Amino acid sequence: MTWVDTDDEHVIFNTEIHRAKFKNLERDPKVTVLIIDATNLWSYSEVRGDVAEVVRGQEARDHYDPSVSGGLTHL
């Protein structure tokens, strides 16, 4: 499970650089994000695409820090 956000053009999510997800994205930058309705498993949204940008450091942390971003919706 992870948080998902958007900037009205891109789907944005976070992963740590030591995780398999990050290493796999470096190797093959294709992404699928699946959002499932926990109350109805037949209801879901799926987005597929390619990594457009990798943001690291403080800029990345600021995006998902509620005190900086104004809060995120956790799915």
In whole angstroms, give the CA distance from residue 72 to residue 1: 14
What tens digit of pLDDT does each residue of 63-74 get? 766 665 554 444
pLDDT in tens, 5-53: 888 888 888 788 888 988 998 999 999 989 899 999 899 999 999 998 8
Query: 34 phi and psi, to 5 degrees?
Result: -115, 125
* d(C-alpha 53, C-alpha 13), whole Å: 11
pTM of the model: 0.64
